[in-house]
Structure 1
Amino acid sequence: MMGNYKSHLLWCLSILSIPTGAYAESNEEVQAQSSIETITVTGSRIRRSVQAESSSPISSTELSDLTDIGANDVRDLIEVLPFNAGSQNNSDNLSQNFTVGTSNVNLRGLGVSSTLVLLNGIRQVTSAVVTDQGASFVDTASLVPALAIKRVEILKDGASAIYGSDAVAGVVNFITRDDLEGGELQYEYRSRWSEGSQDDTKIDFAYGGYVGDSAHMLLAISYLERSSLLLDEVDWLKPATSSFGNPGSFVIPSLADENNPSGLTVADPNCVANGGSLSQGANGNSFCLFDFGPQITAVPDEDRLQAYVRAKWDWSDTTRMWAEAGYARNKITREVSPSFPVLNAPSILASHPDNPYGEDIFFRGRPYGVGKPTETNYYDHTTTRVAFGADGEITEGIYWQASFVAAANDAIVNPRDVITDNFQAALHGFGGNKCRGAATSQAGVGECYYFNPFDPQDPDNERLRDYIIGDYMGDAESEMRVYEAVITGDSLFELDGGDVGFAIGIQYRDESINNVYDSFTQQDSFAFLIGNQNFTGERNVKALFAEVLLPVSENLELGAAVRYEDYGEFGGDTTNPKVSFLWLATEELSFRGTFSTSFRAPSVHQLQGVQTNFANITDPEDGSTTFGGNRTIGDPNLVPETSEALNLGVSYAYDDFNFDMDYWDFSFEDVLTRESHQAVVNANPNDPSRVVRTSAGTISIVNTKFINAEAIDTSGIDISASTIYRTDYGDYSPQLKATYLLSYDLMDASGKTTDGLGKLNLNTVGNPSPRLRGSIGLNWSNGMHRANVYVRHVASYTNDISGANIESFNTLDLQYGMNLGQVLKEDSESNLIVGVVNATDEAPPYVAVAGSYDPRTGDPRGRRAYIKFQFNF
């Protein structure tokens, strides 16, 4: 442990001698900005002249920075943020049942629901689908085209006093461009340069300009075509086996004993000969294992279209109006195993012509496995958004603003699964769409076929595929409307340091969800995905908030904010304060600090939803581990999770040298989470109300609920440093960004506290917590040429399940750009950019889970080369 600590510390200290400024504005830019107008900074409702006046820790990324780091979309930005941990942005078949194609933010590893996402300071609708843990989140892949983004501001401390629920870990605010004049066209092609193939083709267009003297309009459109990558194509994959395969296993009732009351499980006698692998289980049981790892999709096929338009105009000398609309649609296909496991243990009669056991038995497996083509699942996410508002001046120094936003996210989910009754009928000889049933037909005669689980190559098995495999269909919709009004100003009264700034406001928002499933899905007709029930839910929230900034002296500013929110019958009400200070010790040195309480109200889904997905379940009865259904029911009696957040920071700036360091500490209580399905089984494996078993004795469904039960305490240090060296050979801008975790303590539902620092935290409320994440960068520019080099580091951590070490992940990104303005159009700022992400083709560190890597930390995409052409006109 001490050795790791020293190596991490040396890594940080070795870079402090080359600080950088890739994300910071120069002094001249700040002065130019402040001379134009006051702005509203993320983390405060009060207008101020420059962002540097904030007492809160803020990271700002400009549009040009997205290009410099080689980001293809917002997901790529999120991945390299050192203070982000545990985002679910990789298409993992086992931990992202229905959220494939989405992306999210997870500041401080405190959960994807704990970061508030804003667009131009206004809330966004949550995704209609939730994570496997039941967490709601804003899909950052559906916000706006990249060319519409002016900058991304990230507030890294609690902000519920300013923005309300969900801002417990911080805020990510996407701010769109308001100064574009002319058009920009951008084309990028990106390809995997490693084993296997995976390509991205992306076209972005933006046009902006002034209409007359008082109006500005921005239009942006983006289209992405992405091809898939299966883990079968990579060389670092290790087997991921299921005891439900084809060849399968069979439960023989006549061989029952005290250890196996439902019968002994035996592997197919031809298991190995037909491509399976034999495994000896406890109590004499044996299983034929199926390796489903090669069918896991690391990158899905996507066709993503985004469009955004925004207009602002001066209504009068004191009033400005604005309106915007957004649309995003992502159509996704994902390859999965040839068929999912059949969890209900269907029976095979003694009369089956191929049954070698001479008695009625049960099948433990799947209809299609080794050597069969993959199945395809379909998803379609659509987001629409309209917003408008106005702001103006009441009197000198007193301003008002009002806004309204209405947004909806609609998700069509269409995975394909085994229809339980149809598969059972086929095992009994009544399979086929033209078989009329046992009452009028004979088993295995005419248009009625037997499914043969003893011979994977039986031609009747393929003939029955369309009869056995069916479409699970769901349509989920999430809607949100927000009305808000704020009055802000700086003329309450004057202190020694200047005018007192203030803001007061009100907000009303309503949120609703509506999930509709086809009749098959509602009837739990599927053998693995089970099904789901229709449900609806809604609530409205009323809020009052106020903020004040007190310039006590020229060098000291104190701040305070408070917010009251009322959730009516769902969640009660809550009041949260925040206090802050900013001390300008010298012209170069400043200190800042904030303390706040924050909260996250239960989502509508956690209060009133129903969620069914699959999970790995270990049965204490026989020690076997397999997949089973996990059905979670919302609880209207949940209360908000609460937190306390402390941030203390220091900044030093001299000429082009900038240094920032922040110590932060978050303490969460009543953390909202889904009850552990394994804990339910371990507590009473034979509770029929919570653990539903099949006739063969295997676990089919575990019934769980959403609870307030756990706690997280975490702390750490953020470091950011930058400078510019100007030489005859160009300008060199080195930079460092790093986050070092000091603690990550987790308390479970029983009150037991464990140290999650530097661990995978696979079966806890926490997220993977490597101690150190960071990057070293060097940007160079000289005339029409520029280049960027980034070394990124994620420290090693421990698999808390097995105790194995998960190695560190180090990547190298390279980029070269040339300004083609002199060639195509003088001063056009058109560019040709080429680059390589992960130039050394580092594989994600091995983790002993299905897929062989941690999808919340590692990146399976390997080395990717890209060429980008930007043209301004």
Structure 2
Amino acid sequence: MTVKGLMRASSALTALAMVAGLSATSYAQDDVIIVTGSVIRGTPEDAALPVDVLSAEELARLGNPSPVELIKALPVSSGVIGDTNQFDSRSQATEGMASVNLRGLSPQRTLVLLNNRRLVPAGTGVPFVDLNLLPAAAIGRIEILKDGAAAIYGSDAIGGVVNFITRSGQEGFRFGGDYSFISDTDGDYTLQGSFGHQGDNFRLMVAAGYQHRSELLAMDRDFAVQDFEANPEGGWTGGGNPATFLPLGVIPGVGVAPIGGLRADPDCAALGGFVTAANWCRTQYTGFDALVEEEDRYQLWGEMGVDLTDNVEWEISLLYGHDEVPRYRTSPMYLLTQSPSVSVGGSPSGFVVPGNNPGFIQMVTENPGIVPAGTVAALFPTLLFRPLLAGGNPAFAGNPDDLGSATGLRENESFRISTGLNGELNDTTSFDLNVTYHRYERFYDGYDSFGDRVQLALGGLGGPNCNPATGTPGVGGCMWYNPFGNQAPTNAVTGAERPGDEPNQNSAELINWFFVRGTTTLETELFVAEGTLSGETGWELAGGPVLYGVGGQYRRETYSAAYGDNNNIAVNPCRDTPVSGNTSCDPQTGAWAFLGSNADSDADGDVYAIFGELQLPVTDDFNVQLAARFEDYGGQTGSTFDPKVTARWQISDGFALRGSAGTTFRGPPAQQTVNSNVTSLQVIASSFRPVDVFGNPALAPESATNYSIGALFSTDNFTASVDYFRYEISDTITTEPLSGMVATLFADPANCTDPAFDGLRERFQFNDGGGVAGAGTCAAANIARVRTEVVNGGDLTSSGVDFILNYDFGDVLGGSLNAGITATYMLGNELGEEIVEGVVVQDGFDGVGFMNFQTTAYPVPEWKGRGFFEYSVGNIDTRLTFTYVDSYRDQRADLGTGPFAPNPYITGNPVLMQGATIDSQLTTDFNLLYHFGEATTFSFTAINLTDEDPSFARQDYNYDPFTGNPVGRVIRLGFNTEF
């Protein structure tokens, strides 16, 4: 939607309202209360809906937490994307973003609204609304509807709704900021300001916010980087550098072939690697990473309302947000999963180092006997080698705080405009007409190797000024690449020094020639046109007038993905394209050797909806809400109809019951209906492999039936609520589970030749298969790449109980003391079986109390809760908050798979059970507010007062980033003033 088109739509709305028969009834903006879960104006806040409200005052008493801090601590939310988590496919390439995940059902199943209007999800592999670019400086409260709401809002509201509501009624200036002291960092800080004015016939509010996060390196937290035997999964890889190689010799009648077994580079241990029981080298990459990336983000917000008549208001709001991660850190170089072409000196099994390579000569000279007599060359098997690791990457040596990490840029930009008319047609009827346009763009870059260029450099024919056809190895512009440990003087992270002669270091010029930059730009757009009428039906029940709301909505979603030349399969379709210009290979696998190449793609979809709602005050004490919605997606997706009934019965002054039943749904996001792929990186056989995730044009909406029933209690000084909830979701839109696919195909060697497994086998590319699906040696250790798809998968049933208790102790020592507990207990998170190519790859299971690694579920602790004591006296408010996350299991420990299988790399093949249970965690926060007069407040906050490390888990950073917090203690000083 262009700006011109948007203005035309706005004009149309204006004309529509002006020609309506409008009465002279006064309309006051301040009288309207947005209630999440209803389209009827004036819906009482004590309705039957289970809505939690977090006011700006409540957020201040919590120390003004960041979106990630707030959402991770909410008992109702689990499996949150927000902290650096580049090793899980669901959160890769999301640096600088933050999600909310109600009930742990997936961020895609939580609808996020701004002033009751939709926001566009990002175009990431798991589409979700980025909370970091919402206008924090303008938010007055957050409402969380913990119930399915598709009957009112449409798609995505299966798990619930989070509605951010701005301070439309602000008068005057507000200005504030804070600084957070975090050990081993430069600290985090925020600034925000806003201005509001309420005129006789107009209102205005503008706000601006800025937030800075400082980098926290993995090496600056002891828990994050550990020895191999403490956690072999803690960033240790068998495809590193120093690496593992095979000596090659000339065998009569055979030619050049292996003449000895695999062996570790002799500098492996000296440079910080671990030499396994089988004499292989494993090296660690996580020391090059950051647990928290440096980040700068800002938001601009403006909203205005103008009274066109006494009872019609025109309103418009604008949002702009920008987020930048200027230096995303990752491994110095990636594993090579694509073998080089034979035409450039490579082998179908890997990368060949000729005997005249200077690094090979130095390695043999410094280590007599390291290779058998007659060795003329060496082979680095494709899946056991990357060109650089322990010594860092010299091409990035100029970066601040250089560790030798490869770095990249992440940028997010959000623009949203919403405009419309609202008011009253008469004393009993209100209307709301609105159009909203929202665009979100994410750009990121990164580096990967052209494998054939690596092979040319191993033979001395590397570099931008070398002609491989006419050049002489190592002469003129032709350069040698040294693949051995003697390329590095020290481990770039730990400083460990290698013995021996001066290293034969690789030049940055050569590295830049074969380790090349790729770019990705993802853009999503959302256009919504909608209108509602609400008011009194004219019918009366014993409890009052029957209210109604009806409306219609049109939504258009678009998605596009564009890639730079180096990672674009249309430009570099073959592994040898950058060397020879060849574009006629079959299959076309691209030239990037690890991350893989992608094709530009785009998608769009149109949705039409009508909906209605009735509020029936049957008696003064019994109220019923009926709602229904019909949405039509067209095409293969089809349509859906979803009704809902909600009721509340006030049995006595201090006791009420409430409940709901209804169906909800989620339509497939546009980007998941494109028959193209995004590439994730996932662990297979102890090393990361590229895993392609393809969209599916035939996706159907997933549907759910939701139930809830609850009780509310209150006395003069005590309030409580208990709510049971249950979600029954069918045709779940999910990505096929990688771990199940791998475990199923390779459970028995006979599966590789069993016709029943042919389709599943063809989802895999093997190292020696030439990029042909299913071809080559069928073995888990030989997997080069995997294809997964977004599908309508098995059923999901989730249930649990929410608890809220608050007690007011009254006057205590001249002040007021309050205490409260909010908690969620999960009863079940049962997932049905998943089938890929006719084979069951994941049996049904209950995910509650498990980490659910590489399954179709997120981590779901059984218990999660917060408790507080709050004491106020005079100008001082204090609050002590306790946050509890229950222990949960790594399900692989119960299956004896993955990290909990016998470890062949350690002598004796031990089973290492540490991390089988991710321990429970209790953290304590303290906040003090001092009110200086009526307009200025100073705050002191200590988050994680006792400086607890996150609980240990068998993951790359030694904790679960979906649940834990890696930062440690945070001391925050802040202020806020109004004038």
User: Who is 2:222 aligned against?
Assistant: 235
How many equivalent pairs are there? 813
Contact 1:218/1:311 (<8 A) preserved: yes
Distance 1:254 1:666 in 2: 63
Query: Is residue 63 of structure 2 the alignment partner of residue 45 of structure 1?
Result: no
Q: Per-residue displacement from partner, 1:34-53 (whole Å, max 9, x unpaired)?
A: 9963534111112235311x
Q: Secondary structure at the match of 2:212?
A: strand
Per-residue deviation, 1:689: 4.2
Contact 1:539/1:570 (<8 A) preserved: no
User: Who is 2:931 aligned against?
Assistant: 819
Q: Secondary structure at the match of 2:845?
A: strand
Give 2:630's match in structure 1, choosing from 536, 561, 564. 564
User: Who is 1:268 aligned against?
Assistant: 265
Q: Per-residue displacement from partner, 1:213-246 (whole Å, max 9, x unpaired)?
A: 1211111101112111121100113242011111
Distance 2:192 2:720 in 1: 35
Distance 2:923 2:104 in 1: 21
Query: Is residue 327 of structure 2 the alignment partner of residue 340 of structure 1?
Result: no
Give 2:963's match in structure 1, choosing from 857, 860, 869. 857
User: Who is 1:19 aligned against?
Assistant: none
Letter in 2 for 1:676: P
User: Who is 1:703 aligned against?
Assistant: 787
Per-residue deviation, 1:288: 1.0
Contact 2:123/2:671 (<8 A) preserved: no
Q: Aligned in 2, Cα 1:59/1:264: closer, same or farther, shift over 3 Å?
A: farther
Q: Secondary structure at the match of 1:71?
A: coil
Distance 1:503 1:522 in 2: 49
Q: Aligned in 2, Cα 1:253/1:59: closer, same or farther, shift over 3 Å?
A: farther
User: Who is 1:630 aligned against?
Assistant: 691
Letter in 2 for 1:475: T
Distance 2:924 2:954 in 1: 25
User: Who is 1:692 aligned against?
Assistant: 765
Give 1:448's match in structure 2, choosing from 478, 481, 485. 478
Q: Secondary structure at the match of 1:473?
A: strand
User: Who is 1:137 aligned against?
Assistant: 128
Contact 2:87/2:682 (<8 A) preserved: no
Letter in 2 for 1:655: D
Contact 1:677/1:703 (<8 A) preserved: no
Distance 2:517 2:601 in 1: 20
Distance 1:35 1:375 in 2: 53
Query: Is residue 391 of structure 2 the alignment partner of residue 361 of structure 1?
Result: no
Identity value in percent: 29
Query: Is residue 948 of structure 2 the alignment partner of residue 870 of structure 1?
Result: no
Q: Per-residue displacement from partner, 1:713-736 (whole Å, max 9, x unpaired)?
A: 121111112233332521112111
Letter in 2 for 1:154: I
Q: Aligned in 2, Cα 1:254/1:800: closer, same or farther, shift over 3 Å?
A: farther
Per-residue deviation, 1:351: 4.4
Contact 1:93/1:297 (<8 A) preserved: no
Q: Secondary structure at the match of 2:793?
A: strand
Q: Per-residue displacement from partner, 1:468-510 (whole Å, max 9, x unpaired)?
A: 3221211110001000000111233111211111111100000
Distance 2:554 2:797 in 1: 32
Give 1:741's match in structure 2, choosing from 826, 833, 837. 826
Give 1:305's match in structure 2, choosing from 298, 316, 323. 298
User: Who is 1:4 aligned against?
Assistant: none
User: Who is 1:724 aligned against?
Assistant: 808
Distance 1:109 1:769 in 2: 6
Distance 1:321 1:264 in 2: 77
Q: Which moved more, 1:390-399 or 1:403-412?
A: 390-399
User: Who is 2:212 aligned against?
Assistant: 225
Query: Is residue 804 of structure 2 the alignment partner of residue 715 of structure 1?
Result: no
Q: Aligned in 2, Cα 1:338/1:509: closer, same or farther, shift over 3 Å?
A: same
Distance 1:254 1:85 in 2: 56
Letter in 1 for 2:145: L
Larger Rg: 2
Contact 1:515/1:535 (<8 A) preserved: yes
Q: Aligned in 2, Cα 1:594/1:531: closer, same or farther, shift over 3 Å?
A: same
Q: Per-residue displacement from partner, 1:606-665 (whole Å, max 9, x unpaired)?
A: 1116333343343xxxxx432111112111111111111111111122334321111111
Contact 1:789/1:815 (<8 A) preserved: yes
Distance 2:29 2:635 in 1: 48
Query: Is residue 919 of structure 2 the alignment partner of residue 830 of structure 1?
Result: no
Distance 1:525 1:176 in 2: 48
Give 2:155's match in structure 1, choosing from 148, 162, 165. 165
Query: Is residue 945 of structure 2 the alignment partner of residue 839 of structure 1?
Result: yes
Per-residue deviation, 1:681: 4.1
Distance 1:381 1:287 in 2: 42
Letter in 1 for 2:614: V
What are structure 1's unaligned runs of at least 5 residues?
Answer: 1-33, 619-623, 822-826
Query: Is residue 542 of structure 2 the alignment partner of residue 496 of structure 1?
Result: yes
Matches within 5 A, 1:148-187: 148-187=138-177
Per-residue deviation, 1:682: 4.7
User: Who is 2:70 aligned against?
Assistant: 77
Distance 2:114 2:531 in 1: 16
Q: Per-residue displacement from partner, 1:803-847 (whole Å, max 9, x unpaired)?
A: 4111111101011121122xxxxx3x2011111100100100000
Distance 1:199 1:431 in 2: 43
Matches within 5 A, 1:458-473: 458-463=503-508, 464-473=510-519
Distance 2:353 2:391 in 1: 26
User: Who is 1:209 aligned against?
Assistant: 197
Distance 1:106 1:323 in 2: 29
Letter in 2 for 1:68: R
Query: Is residue 867 of structure 2 the alignment partner of residue 776 of structure 1?
Result: yes
Distance 1:379 1:290 in 2: 27
Per-residue deviation, 1:170: 0.3
Q: Aligned in 2, Cα 1:871/1:466: closer, same or farther, shift over 3 Å?
A: same
Letter in 1 for 2:682: N
Distance 1:254 1:747 in 2: 53
Letter in 1 for 2:42: R
Per-residue deviation, 1:569: 1.0
Contact 1:147/1:204 (<8 A) preserved: yes
Per-residue deviation, 1:459: 4.2
Contact 1:811/1:838 (<8 A) preserved: yes
Q: TM-score, normalised by structure 2?
A: 0.80
Q: Aligned in 2, Cα 1:558/1:72: closer, same or farther, shift over 3 Å?
A: closer
Per-residue deviation, 1:425: 2.1
Q: Aligned in 2, Cα 1:38/1:197: closer, same or farther, shift over 3 Å?
A: closer
User: Who is 1:585 aligned against?
Assistant: 651
Per-residue deviation, 1:559: 1.8
Contact 1:116/1:170 (<8 A) preserved: yes
Letter in 1 for 2:511: R
Q: Aligned in 2, Cα 1:226/1:617: closer, same or farther, shift over 3 Å?
A: closer
Q: Secondary structure at the match of 2:731?
A: strand
Distance 1:38 1:534 in 2: 46
Q: Per-residue displacement from partner, 1:223-277 (whole Å, max 9, x unpaired)?
A: 11211112110011324201111101124577999xx999954322332233321
Query: Is residue 731 of structure 2 the alignment partner of residue 670 of structure 1?
Result: yes
Distance 1:440 1:659 in 2: 82
Give 2:876's match in structure 1, choosing from 770, 785, 788. 785
Matches within 5 A, 1:279-358: 279-280=276-277, 286-332=279-325, 333-345=327-339, 346-353=350-357, 354-355=359-360, 357-358=375-376
Q: Per-residue displacement from partner, 1:553-577 (whole Å, max 9, x unpaired)?
A: 1211122111110001141111111
Per-residue deviation, 1:707: 1.0
User: Who is 1:519 aligned against?
Assistant: 565
Distance 2:537 2:702 in 1: 37
User: Who is 1:644 aligned against?
Assistant: 705
Q: Aligned in 2, Cα 1:312/1:476: closer, same or farther, shift over 3 Å?
A: same
Q: Which moved more, 1:686-695 or 1:523-532?
A: 686-695
Query: Is residue 108 of structure 2 the alignment partner of residue 123 of structure 1?
Result: no
Q: Which moved more, 1:651-660 or 1:470-479?
A: 651-660
Contact 2:295/2:323 (<8 A) preserved: yes
Letter in 1 for 2:647: F
Distance 1:614 1:421 in 2: 22
Distance 2:356 2:567 in 1: 29
Distance 1:814 1:143 in 2: 26
Q: Per-residue displacement from partner, 1:181-228 (whole Å, max 9, x unpaired)?
A: 1111112100214xx325111101111112x31211111101112111
